[in-house]
Structure 1
Amino acid sequence: MNAPDSTSERDIQLIREVADRVMTGVPTQVEPFPATPTEWATTYRIHVAGSAPDGVARVLNPRLSAPESIRAEFELARELGTAGIGPAILYADHHTGLAVMEHAPGGHLTEPATARQAEWTADLLKRLHGLPNTGRPRLQDFKVSESLAAVRQRIDAHPSLDIYAEAIGRYAETGRFLKETTPVEKLCHNDLNPTNILFGESRSWLIDFDHMGLGDPFFDLATVILSLRLRPDTEDHFLRHYFRCPPTAAESRRLESTKSIVLLRYALMTLALLPLSFDFAKTAVSEKELSPPFVFRRDENESHETAVYRLSRAFLVNGLNW
C-alpha cells in the first residue's frame, strides 16, 4: 500500500540519491502513486525540473520477494525495456529492491479499451511471446503456490469463506484440463491487470514483471480481454491481430476456459493479501455492491482491506459463474 510512513520516507530518500546520479534532470519531488491492492511493491513518480523527462521508481517489498526473484524481475525489466516492450531501466539493484526507469508518457485505462488500444497490446504480447524461452524463470509459480496456501489457511479459520474452497477446486480442475492441452510455453507476463498496461497517444507499454515466466500465452490473452473489458467486436479485433487470422474453434474454446482460470486465480490471490485477523463474516458483501472484476474502488470511509475483499469477491462471483 502506498501510504506515507517511515518506510516510504526511507524509500524516497534512497530514490532521491539514486535519481540524482542516473537521471538527466534534477529531481524536484518524489511522490507515491495511488494505492493498489497488493503490497509486493510501491511505485513512485520522480518529478524532474525543466524539460527533462520524469522518472518512475519501483521499490520491492523484501519481506514478500526472495532476492533471487528480485534479481530475475529486474533482469527481465531491463530486457523488455531494451526491446521497447516496457519502459527503459536506468538503474536496478536487487539488494535494495529499487529500480528506476523512464516515465512512460501514458496512463491506465478507466474505460474499455478501443480497437486501436487492443491492437497495440496484441502487438506487445506477440513480441513478448516471441522472445527466447531458454533459461527463463517461473516467478508466477511461487506467488500462486504461496497464495493458495494462504487462502486455505483463511478458509480453515473463517467458515464464511467456504465458497473459496469451491473456487480452489474449480481452479484446480480447469487447470488440469488446460495443462493436458497446453500449447508450447512462451515467456508470459502472467499479471496483465489494468495497472500493468500503460497507454499513450500512439502505443502501449507493459510494466511490473514480478509474475513473469514461462507459461501459457492464452493466460495473457484472456487476462487482457477481461482486464481491459474488451467489447465483443474489440475482442475479435484483438485476437485477429494477435493470431494474424481469426482464432480457430479450438483456440476460442481454450480461451473461454482460460478466462475462468484468470478470474479464479485473481479471486484467490486477492483474498490471500488480507490478514488472517480480518473479520470476513462481519464484512459480508452482496453482489450488488461489487464492482466489475479488475476495477479496484475504495469507497468513502471504507478501509483498504474491505475494498480488497470486495475486489476478491467480484473475481470470485464472476469466475464461478463463467
Structure 2
Amino acid sequence: MMMYWFTLALPFYASTQASPGSYLEEHFKVPFQELKTSELSGGLSASSNYKVELQGKQYVLRIFPQEESPETRKREVEASLYAARLGIAPKIYYVAPRFEAVLMDFVAGTTLTKKEVEADDQLSKLLQTIRVLHDSTGDYPKGVTLFEKVEKELSALLNSDVPLPEVQVRQSIQYLEAIKSAFSGVDLVPCHNDLNALNILVSEGQFKLIDWTDAGLGTFYQDLGYFSLVNRIKDLNKLLKLYLQREPTADEVEKLNLMRQASKLRLFATLFASVEPSLSNPEEREKRKAEIVGVLQKKEELNLDQYFEMHQKGELNQQVTIFSMALTALRSFLSEKKEW
C-alpha cells in the first residue's frame, strides 16, 4: 500500500475533521460498509482509536483531537513515522490531510505487564528497544524537554484563574530549577516522553511503542525517569545497568533519581490543569484554593503506585480520581526534596 505523507507548513485553523468512514474510504477506496471497525478504549489520550479490518488485515485508525493545532499533530505523526522506520513502532500507511488522522498496523498482543517489568531478560530487551530510539540520529521533531513542559504548564496555571496551592507550586518550581541544573551539558536525544505501560505493546516477544503525542528531544534520563516512575521500578541501579549494558556510575544513578522526582511534578502540572476549572470570582477562587491546600496537607489515601496500577487497568477515568492523583504527585515531589 502507498504511504501518503504531507510536508506542508500549515497555519493554525479551525479543524473540519471528517468521520472515521471518510478517512478509511479515502485510503482504501472501498465503501465504509465493507470495513469492519470497532472503537478501542484505554489510556488518557484525547485521540480516538479504531480497529479496522479488511480482507483479513488489521489496522488502527487514530484520529487526533480537533482542538490540537496542525503543528502538534504534525509532531506526533513525524515521530511515529521516524520510530516506524526504526522498527520500534507500528508501520504507518496513511496520513490524512492536515495531519488529522493516521492509519497504522494493528499490533496483536498485550500492553506491558508487571511480568515483563520484573523479568530481567524482558526488561533488558525493552530497554534496548528504547535505546534504539535514543541512539538514533535523524530529523526528529524537537518538541519540548520535561523542564520546558513543566515550567510552561505551571506558569500558565499561576497566571490563570485556576485555583491552586500557589505557595507549594512556587516552591516546587524552585526545586525543579535545582534539579534542572544537574543536567546542564547532558546531550539531548530523541525521546518518546510517555513510556507508561499502555503505550508499550508486547507482541511475539517484541516491543512496539505507540502514542507519540509528547515526542521530542530530551536527555535519555527524561524517558527512563518517567518510565521508572509510572511502571513502579524502584531499583534504578539495575535499570541503568540493563539500559547501559554496564555498571552505572553513582552520578548516573543520581541523575536518574532526580529525573524520576521531576516526573512527579510533570504529572501534577499536566493532570491538575486537565481537571481543575477556572473560577473568575475572586472569593470563590480563594475558597477553593483553601480547600485544595487542605487536601494537599492531608495524609494520602492512595500512593502514586496505586494510581499507576489503576491507570494500567484502565480505571483512571474519573475527574475526582485524577485530581487526587495530581495532588499526590505534588505532595510526593515536595516531600522527597533535598539539597540538590
* TM-score normalized with structure 2 length: 0.76
Per the alignment, in what secondary structure is the counterpart of residue 54 of structure 1? Answer: strand
| 1:179-198 alignment, distance < 5 Å | 179-180=183-184, 182-198=185-201
Answer yes or no: is 1:253 the counterpart of 2:260.
no
Q: Where does residue 202 of structure 1 map in the other structure? A: 205
Can you give the 5+ residue segments of structure 1 that lack an aligned partner in the other structure? Answer: 1-6
Deviates more, 1:103-112 or 1:140-149: 140-149
Q: Match of 1:86, as an amino acid?
A: A
Q: Structure 1 vs Structure 2: percent identity of aligned residues?
A: 21
Q: Match of 1:269, as an amino acid?
A: T
Q: Where does residue 288 of structure 1 map in the other structure? A: 301
Answer yes or no: is 1:148 the counterpart of 2:165.
no
Equivalent of residue 138 in structure 1, options 115, 139, 142: 142
Deviations along 1:169-198, whole A, 9 cap, x unmatched?
3223312x2232x42211111222222222
Pair 1:44–1:321, CA change in 2 (3 A): farther
1:216 Cα deviation (Å)?
0.8
Equivalent of residue 219 in structure 1, options 211, 218, 222: 222
1:203 Cα deviation (Å)?
1.6
Whole-Å Cα distance in 1 between the matches of residues 264 and 221 of structure 2? Answer: 13
Q: Match of 1:13, as an amino acid?
A: G
1:211 Cα deviation (Å)?
1.8
| 1:1-322 alignment, distance < 5 Å | 11-18=19-26, 20-21=28-29, 27-34=35-42, 36-39=43-46, 41-46=47-52, 48=53, 52-63=56-67, 65-93=68-96, 95-111=98-114, 113-114=117-118, 115-133=120-138, 135-141=139-145, 144=150, 146-153=152-159, 157-158=162-163, 160=165, 162-175=167-180, 177-180=181-184, 182-232=185-235, 235-277=236-278, 281=291, 284=295, 286-292=299-305, 294-297=308-311, 304-322=318-336
Query: What RMSD in Å do the two structures reach over aligned CA positions?
Result: 3.3
Whole-Å Cα distance in 1 between the matches of residues 259 and 110 of structure 2? Answer: 27
Q: Match of 2:332, as an amino acid?
A: N
Whole-Å Cα distance in 2 between the matches of residues 11 and 178 of structure 1? Answer: 47
Q: Is the 8 A contact 1:296 1:311 kept in 2?
A: no
Pair 1:83–1:159, CA change in 2 (3 A): closer
Whole-Å Cα distance in 2 between the matches of residues 15 and 187 of structure 1? Answer: 30
Matched pairs, number:
300
Whole-Å Cα distance in 2 between the matches of residues 294 and 19 of structure 1? Answer: 37
Per the alignment, in what secondary structure is the counterpart of residue 272 of structure 1? Answer: helix
Can you give the 5+ residue segments of structure 2 that lack an aligned partner in the other structure? Answer: 1-14, 280-287
Q: Is the 8 A contact 1:33 1:45 kept in 2?
A: no
Deviates more, 1:136-145 or 1:222-231: 136-145
1:127 Cα deviation (Å)?
0.6
Q: Is the 8 A contact 2:237 2:253 kept in 1?
A: no
Pair 1:58–1:82, CA change in 2 (3 A): same
1:77 Cα deviation (Å)?
1.0
